[in-house]
Structure 1
Amino acid sequence: MSTINVDNFSQAAQAGTQYILAPLPYANTALDPVISANTLSFHYGKHHKTYVDNLNNLLANSDLAGKSLEDIIRASAGQADKAAIFNNAAQVWNHMFYWHSLKPNGGGEPSAALKQKIEASFGSLEACKKEFAQAALTQFGSGWAWLVVDGGKIAIVKTGNAETPITKNIRPLLTIDVWEHAYYLDYQNRRADYVNTILDKLINWDFAEANLG
């Protein structure tokens, strides 16, 4: 496969008409101590896997079987009779995107080209990170905070539950998962510590740059 980005990364979740648990892009100990192997074993090995298994069961004999995750998400979004399909397909996609949004020894600064685009939208990298963190902290209940490109401008959005920017034709660059199972074993109710430490030490600016297209 070519460079992993938002245009091709979900191919790893498909095997014919079945959807599989795509491998993590790093060892389950690689994000320690920010995210423990214990958290990854539950988050990836239990929660993410359950969404994959549910999706396969829900799509048995469906005309959506075998389509890309993106096509399934767009076809089922807002359809009451396909809500379960949407929720599980979107959560498979969102989780894959989240794993790639992190990397061991991440954080720091993006490339000069990406940093310039961020500064054009936010004024500074620090302002961008502050707004990103604020979106993650103010998402009530379960959901996601996203760095996106919308109308040619880099922006921050947040979505609840399984929602994802691709249903609005907004291109995601990075995401932070703020469902409690993403951080509770390591941080309990300290969501702010989890979010800020990810931004400082794990966020994958290389993935963001690849997603600019």
Structure 2
Amino acid sequence: MSWQLSRRAALKLGAAAVASVWVRTPAAEAAPIALPPLPWEEGALAPVISAQTISFHYGKHHRAYVDNLNKLIAGTEFADLPLEAIVQRTYGKPNQTAIFNNAAQAWNHTFYWNSLHPKGGGKPSGKLLEQIERDFGSFDQFRTQLAQAAVGQFGSGWAWLVKNGNRLEVVATSNADTPLATGKKPLLTIDVWEHAYYLDYQNRRADYVNAVIEKLLHWEFAAAQFASA
């Protein structure tokens, strides 16, 4: 599958999708950070990722990060900030590690859901594909690097496609760390915490990663992030 997206549509999609990560609504005043809805039904990614995995991952893990964060920031200087700002302002500060971990995991998970699509996979088109081929040598070489970063991440973490200045890079981050905190622009991510795949793949992380890359990566979303960078 090859994704076609105009720059205007990409900018519109990018703004709408990423804004859903941290926008607060009047109804959410009692809980400053809201848990955004999934962009698809729980069973939509099957058989690559089962509805059971999504139910636990989103309904238990993601929700817990949001709930914990709201408890931690209540009555603090962070209580009225958007999620992205909380991540950036608490990064690298030992006395705010708990806030950072929960805020970053809340942000990372919403970005991960948007990085997946039931009709995903294949490759991008247009300027994003051109940049990938320029920076990685070919799309296949990019896929190999992304898979290696995801499979090779020791313990829990994430693999990302990011824009760093004028170049695209593949980076891996441990635990809750996120390129958002270091000034890089995330385009896509793959969650390699065990809870993302263990019910479906047990310890076969490579099978999960390769299936996500082949069948679920949402290149239209990535193109929107690239266009807005």
Please classify the TM superposition score into its range, dividing by the shorter chain length. Answer: over 0.9
Matching residue's letter, 2:99: I
Partner of residue 188, structure 1: 202
Aligned residue in 1 for 2:121: 107
Q: Which residue of 1 aligns with 2:150?
A: 136
1:35-54 correspondence to structure 2 within 5 Å: 35-54=49-68
Matching residue of 2:22: 11
Report the TM-score, using the length of structure 2 for normalisation.
0.89
2:211 is paired with a residue whose SS is: helix
Q: Name the CA distance, whole Å, in 2 between partners of 1:81 and 1:93.
A: 20
RCO higher in structure (CA 8 A, sep ≥6): 2
TM normalised by structure 1 equals 0.96
Relative to structure 1, is the Cα distance of residues 13 and 145 closer, same or farther in structure 2, using a 3 angstrom cutoff?
farther
Shift of 1:8: 2.4
Q: Deviations over 1:185-208 (max 9, x none)?
A: 000000000000000000011111
Contact 1:59/1:65 (<8 A) preserved: yes
- State the aligned residue count: 212
Question: 2-side partners of 1:168 and 1:197: how far apart?
Answer: 29
Structure 1 residue runs of 5 or longer lacking an equivalent are none
- Do the aligned partners of 1:174 and 1:208 also contact (CA within 8 Å) in 2? yes
Q: Given that residues 136 and 145 in structure 1 are in contact (C-alpha distance below 8 angstroms), is that contact kept between their aligned partners in structure 2?
A: yes
Task: Choose 5-14 or 53-62, whichever is displaced more.
Answer: 5-14
Please state how far the C-alpha of 1:12 moved relative to its aligned partner.
Answer: 4.3
Shift of 1:105: 1.5
Distance, in Å, in 2 between the alignment partners of 1:152 and 1:9 is 26
Distance across 1 between alignment mates of 2:168 and 2:216: 20
CA contact (8 A) 1:12 1:22 kept: no
For residues 192 and 154 of structure 1, the distance between their equivalents in structure 2, rounded to whole angstroms, comes to: 23
Give deviations 1:38-65, integer Å, cap 9, x for gaps.
0000000000000010001001111101
Contact 2:21–2:110, Cα closer than 8 Å, also in 1: yes
* Among candidates 186, 189, 208, match of residue 175 of structure 1: 189
